Structure 1
Amino acid sequence: MTPLTRPLLMKIVSAFLFCPTLSYAQQNYFNVPSSELTPKNKAFFQQQFNFFQNGSEYFTTFCYGLGKEAEIGFNILAVTVERSALVFHDYHAPYKPLYTLNAQKRFYLRKFDVALGGHFGFNRKGKTAAYVYANHINKIPRWKTKILTGVYYSDYGYHGGKTRNFTTYPAIAGVGFQIGAETNLYKEKWLFQTDYISGYHIAGTLAAGGAYVANKVHVISFGYLLPLRDVPALSGFVLEYTFAPLSAENNAK
């Protein structure tokens, strides 16, 4: 399929985010940014492992909190191992792995919050790779549950040439949607998590699982990746380790 060449302005779509009493900085649920920000002068680290029948993938994220609900960092995404050998997909977009810088900023509005962010860098062949998103957030603390929805745009270097949604209309083929949810199961130590990112690309999966909050900085997440029909992604298991300093709500606003 031909590369996606028409950049689009992104809109914010309605969503709900129900926040628990404590909020931990976490770059992703599994595949979708959670829009929790790293506290000022604190470091965030996340290592994700995806295990498939014939191999595995590794995703590394580092962020640094700038204060005023902003963070920056870098990513090494989709390092692939097949049958005990490093495999770089030089002949099939998006030519993994990806090397990107990341940035995110959260805005507190009257009735809801908005987080804008993105990854910007290059892929294995030196081509640009970009993914930008807008997430819409609301908070009802008594539910101790988060639900997030948003929209995203990604280019050919990041997700390849197939549509990001359920159409092939060129004007919107680069835009998709993403959702995530998290709920407290037991004393904010055990959490249920799920997310979904739309699109006919390798990340277009539904992920569901849980997280164990060991203490104020260490979180272990685990789940299952399930691609929807006709999506060229693999099913498998996901495991994440997160070093995430405890976030104070409205940190350094």
Structure 2
Amino acid sequence: MTYLIRFIFLVLFFNSFSNLSAQQNLFNIPSGDITPEKKFFYQHQLNFYDGKFESKSHIVYGLGKGWDIGFNLINSAFAMKKGHWFEFQQQPITETPLQPVALFTAQKSFKVADKFQLNVGTQLGSNINRYADNLRFAHYTYSVGLLEVFNHWKLTFGGYYSNDILKGRGNDAGILLGYEIPIVPHKFYLMGDFISGNNSQGVSVIGLMVPASKKVQFCLGAIVPNINNKQGNYGIVFELNLLGWNYW
């Protein structure tokens, strides 16, 4: 089997998990949006770094009454070198996050005011490993507020608490900030987010979002690690959002 065929097979294989895969994000933080009742939201993200890229898959189902649930498959790393396409971290080393990680998610939204809502969510799961002794419990809990100001500007702010399995060594809690600003309504948006901390997840993403239709969005951004994040890398992120299963 050629390396190209192997690569395509792996991408399709892990994309199949996506039909079971969470939480709606900007780039790296929860957006504060809730998936409507009996509707699906799917997001696929590719982070490109020097010599490798990572895949993140999210799928969410709206339960109604401000609830949605879902599944995440994150930290799926592909190394661009001979004989080493897909990376499983076999030992429970927590200097950097374990990979890949599967998480079940749940989120609840509370409407506080006409243009402000508060969301509380959690993501619970484990790393994927061929050895049971190397499996570790992973968790990520957060609360974010979503505020709409001016002409449909969306500002997200809150905090998180997690463990080393998802974030690597460093602080366990931090601040979440994000924004979505329409430049040309329904056609072009500025979008970005920030995670505080000296762990490997402490980064900012500065980017844009372009809707291809009412149900398809393309996002592109630059990954910039925090100054005190010694584990982070600069990179490029590409994101696809599907607000339902049909294009229109």
User: Normalised by the size of structure 1, how large is the TM-score?
Assistant: 0.79
* Equivalent position to 1:107, from 104, 110, 116: 110
Partner of 2:86: 86
Residues 1:38 and 2:35 aligned together: yes
Residues 1:216 and 2:214 aligned together: yes
Partner of 2:193: 195
* Contact 1:45 1:244 (C-alpha < 8 Å) held by counterparts: yes
* Equivalent position to 1:160, from 158, 165, 168: 168
Greater displacement, 99-108 / 154-163: 154-163
Partner of 1:149: 157
Gaps of 5+ in 2: 1-21, 129-133
Distance 1:26 1:190 in 2: 23
How many aligned positions are there? 211
* Contact 1:26 1:244 (C-alpha < 8 Å) held by counterparts: no
Q: Displaced runs of 4+ in structure 1, greater than 6 A?
A: none
* Equivalent position to 1:96, from 88, 96, 99: 99
Give the structure with the higher percent helix: 2
Q: What are the Cα deviations for residues 79-116 of structure 1, in whole angstroms up to 9, with x where unaligned? A: 00112411122343222111000111100124732100
SS at the partner of 1:39? coil
Offset, 1:138 = 2.6
Offset, 1:38 = 0.7
Read off the aligned partner of 1:238 and give its amino acid letter. V
SS at the partner of 2:30? coil
Q: What are the Cα deviations for residues 112-165 of structure 1, in whole angstroms up to 9, with x where unaligned? A: 32100121101133210000000123333x4221111101100122212311xx
Per the alignment, do residues 214 and 161 of structure 1 end up closer, same or farther by CA in structure 2, a change over 3 Å counting?
same
Partner of 2:234: 235
Asked which structure has the greater RCO (Cα within 8 Å, sep 6+), the reply is 1
Mapping for residues 22-61 of structure 1, pairs under 5 Å: 27-61=24-58
Read off the aligned partner of 1:82 and give its amino acid letter. A
Partner of 1:130: 139
Q: What are the Cα deviations for residues 4-62 of structure 1, in whole angstroms up to 9, with x where unaligned? A: xxxxxxxxxxxxxxxxxxxxx98111101101111110111100000011100000001
Percentage of identical aligned residues: 30
SS at the partner of 1:89? coil
* Contact 1:58 1:77 (C-alpha < 8 Å) held by counterparts: yes
Distance 1:110 1:187 in 2: 24
SS at the partner of 1:38? coil
Partner of 1:76: 73
Offset, 1:189 = 1.3
Offset, 1:188 = 2.0
Gaps of 5+ in 1: 1-24, 164-173, 246-253
Distance 2:158 2:187 in 1: 27
SS at the partner of 1:71? strand
Distance 2:226 2:136 in 1: 28
Greater displacement, 210-219 / 227-236: 227-236
Read off the aligned partner of 2:158 and give its amino acid letter. G
Distance 1:179 1:208 in 2: 12
Read off the aligned partner of 2:124 and give its amino acid letter. F
SS at the partner of 2:170? coil
